[in-house]
Amino acid sequence: MLDPRRLRLLRDLARLGTIAAVARLHGYTPSAVSQQLSALEREARAPLLERTGHRVRLTAAGEALSGASEDVLDALERAEAAVAATRGTPSGRLRIGAFPTAVRTLFPAALVELGRRHPALELQVVELDPADVPGALSDDRVDVGLVQDYDVVPRTTSPGVASTPLCDETVHLASPAHGTRSVADVRDEPWILAGSGTLCRAVAEHLCRTAGYEPRERHVVDDFTTALALVAAGQGVAIVPQLATAAVPDGVRLDPVATRRRTRVAHRAGAGRRPEVRAFTRAVRDVATDVLRA
């Protein structure tokens, strides 16, 4: 019988690439991880790793078992979720990964309502860029998280992660207030862009390239409130979603652009029936509906 805990270590080794990284993720020593993987080899009756000095790589058997491990771990999570669903009442800890705008605009009301309805539920919020949520779910660092995509940058699927729709937003060009403007109109303006590798930056760059130019970066800011303050100070233009426009500074105008942002509640594929996941999804969806209608 294969030990699921050891299967998780093998899966993470395939994803992270080194035993040291797996050890850091799980809070083990590298030698402890090596011992557990050696035990898994004995259980599998096949060599799973090839060791060359301080480096290891998966054998063909290791690759096959790593690929199958996701289904095994997902089935175990589904079984645990089925048992949890019989309780009916959400309880215990729920770790939530979300981007700062959602934490500021949606979570205060949603968490208060969850606490009122389910006092046995312990909520923990961690700020995460949407791009980091699938990895945090796979690493078991969060239980649910918010992921995003835009019309112009479609969502990519992640193995072992499922999601349900939360909200759909208008996206705006924020610029100094003088006349209606489009992305094409601000080709000579400096840009306030999000950090490298983020979805927000990819969207801004895509919109500018579609208009025939590369954005000229002046500031790199991941917080939309800060970006709007810089726009108000005449420091450039920026792309901001509807959730970030509740309090727009004086001197800033907003013009819709040709894309929309879609946010989804993501969780490990086997965890969809957990009462805690369902309760959180309902609460944050109700708040998002009210906020975007306002």
Task: Count CB atoms within 10 A of the CB of residue 292.
Answer: 15
Residue 267 has pLDDT above 80, yes or no: yes
**In the chain, where are the structural domains located?**
4-84, 90-148+265-293, 169-262
Q: Do domains 4-84 and 169-262 have the same CATH topology?
A: no
Joined together, the tokens standing for residue 244 give 């970030």
Domain 4-84 listed as CATH 1.10.10.10: yes
pLDDT tens, residue by residue, 60-119: 988 888 888 888 887 887 777 777 777 778 888 999 999 988 999 999 999 999 999 999
Domain 90-148+265-293 falls in which CATH fold?
A: D-Maltodextrin-Binding Protein; domain 2 (3.40.190)
Which residues, in sequence order, are bridge partners of residue 171? 241
Q: Which pLDDT score is estimated for 145?
A: 95
pLDDT, tens digit (0-9, with 9 covering 90-100), for 141-199: 899 999 998 888 776 667 788 899 999 999 999 998 876 689 999 999 999 999 988 88
Checking 31-34 for CB contacts under 8 A at 24+ apart, the result is 33/9
**Residues 6+ away with beta carbon under 8 Å from 86:** none
Residue 194 amino acid letter: A
pLDDT, tens only, 113-152: 999 999 999 999 999 988 889 888 988 889 999 999 888 8
Fold for the domain defined by 169-262:
D-Maltodextrin-Binding Protein; domain 2 (3.40.190)
CB distance 97 to 142 below 8 Å: yes
At 197, which helix (H) or strand (E)? none
The per-residue pLDDT for range 3-46, each reduced to its tens digit, is: 888 888 888 888 888 888 888 877 788 888 888 888 888 988 88
Give the span between the Cα atoms of 178 and 251, in whole angstroms. Answer: 9
- pLDDT higher than threshold 80 for residue 261: yes
pLDDT at 39 (0 to 100): 87
> What is the distance of C-alpha 11 from the center of its chain?
20
